[in-house]
Structure 1
Amino acid sequence: MSRDSIALRPPARPLQNFPSHALTPDQSLIRGHQVANGPWWFSSSSGGGRFDLTPPRGTCYLAFDEDTAIRETVGEALATAGVISTDFAATRRLSTLTVPHAHQLADTCTAKAADFGLTRELTSMTPYAVPQEWAAAFDAATFAGILYQTRFTTGPNPNAVGLFGEAGEADWPTDPSPVPLTAAALRCGFTVAGPPRSVRIISPPTN
């Protein structure tokens, strides 16, 4: 296989003994979501998320910090342009949450994960078919979610979780005072801006 080919394949080894991490209610989580929606949304494969499960199962994506939540909420547009659109920011907010009970997560960031055929490509590769197969296998192995490092951030430590549950909105406690994405982004040092109000075109001088 060429070194410039994606090496990660669907899981082929039993995952019951895969390394785990306990997510407890003591851990604060940040969820970026649309203003019109609640934060505890578990999306199915029709939602296009990296670790989405097949209905009736779903996945809820949460970060450990605001910076990660913002980068993952905005995605490629922020990575390429370095600016968050004011129109986009106006439709999003960040909720600070905690899980109502402990969840045992598959720890994809530990060195021993490689012994099961896993690589860092899990959180960077596109399309999402193979990551979704890993998520389905972890769910079948009775893990309650995935601990991972996100695509649009850097750093040595895990910074996000994908929780598994029934697809749709979970009736879990929510943040009574979610923060507008614009305010959180500015606090974290991001630029939030709209398109130029007008563009003046100057014709080159004629000889």
Structure 2
Amino acid sequence: MTGRERTALGPPPASVAGFPAYSVGEGTDLFRAHGRGLGPWWFGNDGTGRFDLRTPRGTCYVALDPLSALRERLGPVLGGSQAVPESLLEESVVSRLRLSAARDVANTQDRGAAVFGVTRELESTVPYAVPQAWARAFDEAGFGGVRYGPRFTPGDSSALALFDAEGAADWPVDPDPVPAQQVPGAPAALPNPRRSDLTVVRPPRTRAVREGS
């Protein structure tokens, strides 16, 4: 393995004071894809998110456009495909949200972030131990979250990992979230299989063999 094949991103420095900031105003439209029966403002910390914090803090993932939000939700299933199971789209919606108060987030998409050791690997590296360490450093420094490039959406898209108390937040929600299939550019749906399309394979018959037979 050559030096270029190794991950260059390391843990955060002792101080992230002066790290580039991005202001998220009260009028900024934010988009979150979530389950049809679930609220959008969920700040999780189970470690399955790139910038998850530790209890009692949590992280809520949103994007600055609806398609990026949807692709981030579908990403693990979507991968390099152009379609996802129809059932997954049917149970997903995208909410348009706004913060009740402006906040500054750490802007990892700013060129100045490189001075602190940030590389584009922060947006894509797995597992998440190193990105989560960066999230804790930003949270401890007083940032309200992280602005970063969403892993499953190429181009100039941006996503935000917002920090707050763990669990559900009682913040204003979208009264009419958009069904995933109606989001412009949404992946195609793979039809759910019909019972008539399925082939039932019965297990082979087994016969007990008596000792000595």
Provide the TM-score with structure 1 as the length reference.
0.89
Q: 1:192 aligns with which of 175, 189, 193?
A: 189
Map of 2:107 onto structure 1: 107
RMSD over equivalenced CA pairs, Å? 1.6
2:159 is matched by which residue type in structure 1? A
**In the TM superposition, what is the alpha-carbon distance from 1:189 to its structure 2 partner?**
4.9
Does the 8 Å contact 2:83/2:188 carry over to 1?
Answer: yes
Instruction: Find the structure with the greater CA-based Rg.
Output: 2
Q: Distance in 2 between matches of 1:115 and 1:78?
A: 34
Map of 1:28 onto structure 2: 29
Q: Distance in 2 between matches of 1:196 and 1:164?
A: 40
Map of 2:208 onto structure 1: none
**In the TM superposition, what is the alpha-carbon distance from 1:195 to its structure 2 partner?**
4.6
Q: Distance in 2 between matches of 1:196 and 1:90?
A: 14
1:135 is matched by which residue type in structure 2? A
Instruction: Tell which deviates more after alignment, 187-196 or 130-139.
Output: 187-196
Secondary structure of 2:99's partner?
coil
Map of 2:141 onto structure 1: 141
**In the TM superposition, what is the alpha-carbon distance from 1:199 to its structure 2 partner?**
6.7
Secondary structure of 1:33's partner?
strand
**In the TM superposition, what is the alpha-carbon distance from 1:43 to its structure 2 partner?**
0.6
1:168 is matched by which residue type in structure 2? G
Secondary structure of 1:7's partner?
coil
1:49-77 deviation digits (Å, cap 9, x = unpaired): 00000010000000111110111010132
Q: Distance in 2 between matches of 1:154 and 1:182?
A: 20
The total of aligned residue pairs comes to: 196
- Detail structure 1 runs of 4+ shifted over 4 Å in the superposition: none
Q: Distance in 2 between matches of 1:104 and 1:181?
A: 29
Secondary structure of 1:139's partner?
helix
**In the TM superposition, what is the alpha-carbon distance from 1:148 to its structure 2 partner?**
0.8
**Structure 2: 5+ residue stretches without partners:** 200-213
Q: Distance in 2 between matches of 1:56 and 1:71?
A: 28
Does the 8 Å contact 1:147/1:161 carry over to 2?
Answer: yes
Does the 8 Å contact 2:70/2:186 carry over to 1?
Answer: no
Shift of the 173–129 alpha-carbon distance from structure 1 to 2, 3 Å rule, reads: same
Secondary structure of 1:176's partner?
coil
1:24 is matched by which residue type in structure 2? G
Provide the TM-score with structure 2 as the length reference.
0.87
What is the percentage of aligned positions where both structures have the same residue?
A: 42
